[in-house]
Amino acid sequence: MERVAIVGIGHSKFGKRMDVSMNELAWEAVRPALEDSGLSQKDIEFYSVGNLGFWSEELLPAVTVGEYCGLKAGSLKTEAACASGSAALKVAYDSVLSGNSRIAMAIGIEKMYDSPNPTIIELIGRAGNYFWEFENFGLTFPGYYALYATRYMHDYKAREEDLCLASIKAHHYGSLNPYAQFQKEISMEECINSRYIAWPLKLYDSSPITDGAAAVILASGDIAKRITDTPVYIDAQGYATGSANLSRREDFTGLEASRRAAEIVYRKLKLDKPADSFDLFQVHDCFSIAEIMAYEDLGIAKKGKGVDLLRENQTYHDGKYPVNVDGGLKAKGHPIGATGVSMAVEVTKQLRNEAERGRQVDVRKGRALTHNVGGTGHYAYVTAFSRGD
C-alpha cells in the first residue's frame, strides 16, 4: 500500500488574535505550508478543515477559508470537539491513502475570542451529554476534569503540587516556542497559589481560550519523495469513541477511548514495547491531570505511576519520554479545531530536527506519537509518524 507523507507545514501565532479575521488567521498557516512544500494552491486536490465553531464569525469555514486562501479543490469541515484537527488530518490522510487525491491539505482553525467568555464556557460544556444534564446544566469542562483529578489523587496519593509539575513544564517549553500563547515560565509557588477554577484544578492547571490555525500538506509516497528530502510519514492512526454520559464511565483515572485508540496503532505497527518505540509524544493536556492520565493510557507509564514521570523530570526534552515540548495545550494554547493539526506540525518539525533551541528532542528512533481527545474522552485519535529514513 502506498504510504502518505507530510510534505509541508504551517502554523500561526496562537493567542488572542483580534488583529485578524478567521480567514486571515487560516492564511497565516496555509501560506507557510505551501511555501514549505514548494507547492501552489492549484496542486491541492482536496482539503479538510477542522473546526468546532459556534462562537466564530464563520460557520462554514471550509468554504470561506478555501476561498480566501485560493484553494479550488473539494472541501469538508470536520468536527470532533477538541479532536477536530485530528479528524481533519484523518480525512485528508484517507483521501490520499485511497488514491482519490494525490495531494491534500488538513487545516485546523478556531477563533474562540469572537464570543464572550461565558458563552464559550457554556458551549464547550455542551460538548458533554447535554440531554443527560438538561434539567440543570452544570458541569463545565474544568468540572469534568476535576472529577478525574480528585479520583486520581485519592487512588494514587498524588498532590496538587504534582499537577503543577505538568504546568511548570508546559510553561517552560512555551517560553521557548515563538508560536505559543504563553511565553513566560512559572514557578511552583505561582502555580500552587493561583486561584481555583474547579478544585483541585487551578488557573495554571488549565488550558486557555485560544485563537489559532495550523496546516499540513499530505502527498502520496512517490510524489512526496519528489517534493521534499524530509518527508514525515503517517504510519498508523487509531480512533475510538467513548460515552459522553459520565454515569456510564467505569474508570475516572483514565480515558478508555484513549486506550483503545492507542491499542489500534500499536497493533497495526506490531509494537511490543510502545513506550520505547517513539522519540517524543504530543498528548492532550487540556488540564494538568489530562497529561498524567495520557501517560498511562498510552502505556508510557503503568497505572498510577504517571505522576512519577513528572516527579523525575522524565518528560522533558532530554528525558526518557519527551512529552509536549512545544508547551502543549496548556501553554502553547488550545484553539480547539487547530490543536490536532498543530500536534502534527510539531512532530514534523521535531522529526526534521527543526525545533527551536532548548526543546529539540534527540530523534534517533525517527518516530513520534500524537494523542488528541475530544470532550472528556468522547473522541480519541492517536497517530504514529516516522521520518523518511
- 125 sits in which H/E element: helix 117-125
In the chain (389 residues long), the average pLDDT of successive 10-residue segments reads 92 97 98 98 98 88 96 95 97 97 98 91 79 65 94 97 98 98 98 98 97 98 94 97 86 95 97 94 98 98 97 98 98 98 98 97 98 93 92
* CATH class assigned to 4-116+209-227: alpha beta
Give the residue carrying C-alpha cell 497495526.
Answer: 268
pLDDT at 389: 67
Nearest to 281 by CA among 305, 257, 297, 269: 297
Mean pLDDT for the chain overall:
95
Count of residues for the chain? 389
Residue 378 backbone class (left: φ over 0; alpha: ψ -120 to 50; beta: rest)? alpha
pLDDT at 112: 96
What are the tens digits of pLDDT across the range 147-188?
999 999 999 999 999 999 999 999 999 999 999 999 999 999
pLDDT at 53: 87
Which residues form the catalytic set? 82, 334
pLDDT at 135: 53
pLDDT at 182: 98
pLDDT at 65: 97
pLDDT at 58: 86
Say if pTM beats, i.e. exceeds, 0.85. yes
Nearest to 328 by CA among 211, 174, 183: 174
Q: Measured between alpha carbons, how far is 297 from 255 in angstroms, rounded to an integer?
A: 7
Q: Are 269 and 168 in contact (CB under 8 A)?
A: no
Nearest to 112 by CA among 42, 46, 181: 181
pLDDT at 140: 83
